[in-house]
A and B are shown apart, each in its own frame.
Chain A
Amino acid sequence: MTMVQAIGAALHDAMAADDRVVVFGEDVGRQGGVFRVTDGLQGTYGEQRCFDTPLAESGIVGAAIGMALRGFRPVPEIQFDGFTYPAFDQVATHLAKYRSRTRGLVRMPVTIRVPSFGAIGSPEHHSESTETYWAHTAGLKVVVPSTPADAYSLLRDSIECDDPVMFLEPKRRYWAKEDVDRAARREPIGTAVVRRPGDTVTVVTYGGLVGVALEAATLAAEEHGWDVEVVDLRSLVPLDIDTVAASVARTGRCVVLHEGPRTLGMGAEIAARLQEEVFWDLEAPILRATGFDTPYPPTRLEGDWLPGVDRLLDTVERSLSYDHA
């Protein structure tokens, strides 16, 4: 199934398994979501458990907090990444802090689904990388799946989790296909996975760019004989730095690949953590292939702006140019 279908299946199965799960947001009901992710939920579970809200992002998240306080497991959708900003206050001020504010008395099992990131030719505010805002906010888990099977499994986990989760869905992977075994749950939130083993250089990435990294790795092997290892983080909080560090300790080189602007992006965190963990194993500085420190560009320019196979391979080559021999 596609990632859209996998996420829809996860919502269906979560709602069937637990009648406290409610899905709401803009256009998720009658329309089934602008990407049809929530297709059929209202028909199956009724208008109380899947409903359309007024166009008000802060309201969607704020109301979810009240529902969670009364024992529900809300799964609100914010229609696009760039529209999470109006909800930022409710997320940062309350959702992320309710547990610590009440010393564990109040749980916030809220999973906010956000169709995220770029490369689908959308207008302004429809292609942004918001993960750093959430990862920097204590009390939130941040999950970014890259495949349909992971999306299914990680979303089920997120909904069952007693903590708030920002579930960022890479739109460019919505139509990727993969067999999904709904009976088998894969590894839980907080575990990275090596998507392609290699021993020349480690590429660390997540979400929509995992596919780009794998494509680049194939090209690198064919054209240059570089054996690129690709690590998919899958969740940014908790961050499975151990898997990344083990990989980099072996290859001695690391390139972090992400769409968001470079300054204080996930690459900055991973580079800092790796130099604490595996400094003596490094053969080269940890490098980053990222978006730029500019607002997300107009659609016709996003192909040039986004980090792709070429920018990644250039960065890998730069990493390999550090030669101590």
Chain B
Amino acid sequence: MADLIIDEVALEPIQLIAPDGHPTPHHGLDPTSVVDRLPAMYRAMVATRGVDEEMVNLQRQGQLALYPPCAGQEAAQVGCATALRDTDWLFPQYRELGAFLVRGIDPGGVGLSWRGTWNGGLGFVERCVAPICIAIGTNTLHAVGAAMASTWLGDGGVTVAFIGDGGTSEGDVHEALNLAAVQQAPCIVFVQNNGWAISTPTHDQYRAPSLAHRAIGYGMPGVRVDGNDVAACHMVVAEAAERARRGDGPTLVEAVTYRMGPHTTSDDPTRYRSEGEVATWRALDPITRCEAFLRHVGAWDDTLAEEAASHAADLRRSLRDAVYDAPDGPATEVFEHVFAEPTPELLRQRDELAAELEREG
């Protein structure tokens, strides 16, 4: 594998595919070396884009309470998640739909979180994905602890913590990066720098040359990658995972990308950013870039587009069905999972609620 991750942090993001689809080999590394894996990544990106749209629709219909769209960040998430083993633990925040789908999590499991019937996401931990983390940056520490555990277990596991540019300002992320470096934990902190933390632009968020540069201070490699280039994201994370597995410790990866939509369905990005900016990034769409590259190297097949669209449509349908059909569950269930065994006081309170519900009929 080429040496993508070097001691010196480069400001220029690593890119293997130019926006127009031409290969831009970096350090002698050529994206054609992963061309056989790109159709699967393309398919996952199309699925992510489709399910993301459906989530927004469902929110607009009042079926979901809230939803944080991820359109524009598909390459970062899919490139990262496809570079890992299914047994590597992911510690997401809440915008990582692409990573969830790569892991085979049912879109309904994600949708029900936002509907408000399952806080942590259905089907997550069974696939080595930690529950959605609404608090910012706190998940990075869980990833470091789990990575330390992987070392002790000798299972060759790697953990990935997902955060955003805003999240890097949280204190826990400092503690996580420092602890990971001190412990040489097999951990990747994957920052999706998507330009905006709700309404705060990156220039009001940090003054370092880049977020990857922070790695220098922790004594670990930092790498900036074009977050809209799925091949580059995939190869950078693959190399970071390989380093981690052979005992060379953590890596800080900054994927430079853009959030095309709002932070969540509750905010109005037209209040804080220009249409021109959005248009600039729309031209850098990760899905069309992947397609253009496959066409350029003669690996494109029209059936891929059809098959990907049909797969996305199936997932959208399954999401709709899961959300429309979802029962709220019995209210007394809240008492069941506070402790392994409910305390006498919890049992008293459960009976109190049960009686109240019965009176109300």
List residues of A whose CB falls within 8 A of some B CB: 22, 48, 53-54, 56, 58-59, 61-72, 74, 89-90, 93-94, 98-107, 138-139, 141, 161-163, 190, 237-239, 241-242
Contacts and interface: CB of A to CB of B under 8 A. Distances in A.
Most buried by A among B144, B150, B336, B343: B343
A151 B36 CA distance: 61
Contacts of B340: 99, 107, 161-163
Contacts of B148: 63, 66-67
Interchain residue pairs A-B with the least CB separation, the first 7: A66-B145, A62-B141, A63-B145, A59-B175, A70-B149, A66-B146, A238-B343
The majority secondary structure among interface residues of chain B is helix
A54 B138 contact: no
Contacts of A141: 339
A66 B125 contact: no
Given A90-B141, A238-B345, A63 B179 contact: yes
Contacts of B336: 103-104
Contacts of A66: 91, 141-149, 159
B130 interface: yes
Contacts of A103: 118, 120, 333, 336-337
Contact of B120 (A53, A61, A62, A102): A102
B92 interface: no
A2 B337 CA distance: 37
B344 interface: yes
A54 B172 CA distance: 13
Contact of B175 (A62, A70, A237): A62
Contacts of B178: 54, 56, 59
Contacts of A64: 145
Most buried by B among A59, A61, A89, A94: A59
B216 to A, nearest CB: 18
A48 B148 CA distance: 9
Nearest to A51: B183
Contacts of A61: 141
A106 B89 CA distance: 14
27 contacts: A54-B175, A54-B179, A56-B178, A59-B176, A62-B175, A63-B145, A65-B145, A66-B142, A66-B143, A66-B147, A66-B148, A67-B146, A67-B148, A69-B145, A69-B149, A71-B149, A94-B142, A100-B119, A101-B119, A103-B120, A103-B336, A105-B125, A138-B338, A139-B339, A190-B343, A238-B344, A239-B343
A64 B333 CA distance: 27
B152 A237 contact: no
B131 A101 contact: yes
B348 to A, nearest CB: 10
Nearest to A89: B138
A67 B149 contact: yes
Interface in B316-353: 333-334, 336-340, 343-345
Nearest to B179: A59
A93 B140 CA distance: 14
B176 A62 contact: yes
Interface residues of B, number: 44
Contact of B334 (A100, A161, A163): A100
Interface string B102-125: 000000000000000011100011
A125 B336 CA distance: 36
A100 B339 CA distance: 8
Given A66-B159, A69-B142, A89-B135, 4 more contacts: A65-B142, A69-B89, A70-B145, A70-B153
Nearest to A74: B145
Contacts of B247: none
A65 B149 contact: no
B179 A139 contact: no
Contact of A99 (B150, B159, B338, B343): B338
A104 B179 contact: no
A294 B140 CA distance: 36
B345 A93 contact: no
A34 to B, nearest CB: 20
B89 to A, nearest CB: 8
Contacts of B150: 70
Contacts of A59: 141, 144, 172, 175-176, 178-179
A245 to B, nearest CB: 12
Contacts of B171: 58
Contacts of B149: 66-67, 69-72
A104 B118 CA distance: 12
